[in-house]
Amino acid sequence: MTSTPSASLLHSAFYRFVPLSDPQAAAVQLRSLAHALQGSILVAAEGINGTVAGEPQAVAAFEAALQQADVLAGAFRGMPFKHSECATPPFGRLKVSVKPEIVALGLPQDPAAALPPPDERDASHLSPEAWRALLARDDVVLLDNRNHFEFRLGHFRGAVDPQVHNFSDFVAYVQAQAPAWRAAGRPVAMYCTGGIRCDKTAPWLRSQGLDVWQLDGGILNYFQSLPDAERDWQGECFVFDKRVALDTRLRETGTTAEQVFDPTLPDEAWRLQRARRLDGAGG
């Protein structure tokens, strides 16, 4: 799979778990700040989750504006952004949506045992260098917290695939394996594309009595930080936009949706149909 021509657009991915008392008002402000960009921003009472793209100077201006003190009381100051260049425009328009959650993972809801909120800055987050050192241990469970099709396209060498086709599959897999992991005293090293799925699920995994570590900033930060990331990574990394997949240098690979999704599997067939529809519509 060949790399694409030189890029002219910049892609920025970001999220933050922070209580928002008025998600609708936050969405209005975000639409105004991101008016020169294309992409998708989800807003909920628990925070924001966004991917946007545009001319590099427009992306930089948006990121700077988002972190100003007058934007939602400075809630997004210091928020990290993960960048990759684009030869293919990854989005057709800007969409800012208010949702019940900024990432929906189907975690068990037990009001009698409420979980602590996600914390993307706690001590369980490992830098790419520390993550590489952890992977060298033979007692670690290296757990991929993504969909099965994402794992199939590429993953850390030695990672476990929980075979996630639906939200509930990850929960069921962990519940089935947790007793053995606990008994053997095996820590869980968990990763996902940008970090948000791991942040959302980490409190629940700890409620299962597991010792959990996370890759700070996810796969994208690993690729961005380590020029030799291919030492630890096999294949490509799926991204949820028109570029489809990136290599360890954060370059588009030329992989198509038809090469990613298996149309014989219901959860992948609709994704393939959606990818074709969006590509044909240019949005």
Which residues form the catalytic set?
192
Q: Parallel, antiparallel, or unpaired: how do β-strands 9-17 and 82-86 relate?
A: antiparallel
How far, rounded to the nearest angstrom, does the alpha carbon of residue 215 sit from its chain's CA centroid? Answer: 11
Tokens representing 68? 């100003």
- What does DSSP assign to residue 18? -
Report the 10 Å Cβ neighbour count for 205.
24
Dihedral angle of Cα 238, 239, 243, 245, to the nearest 10 degrees: -20
The β-bridge partners of 49 are: 15, 42
Residues of the chain by 3-state class (helix, strand, coil), percent to 5: 35, 20, 45
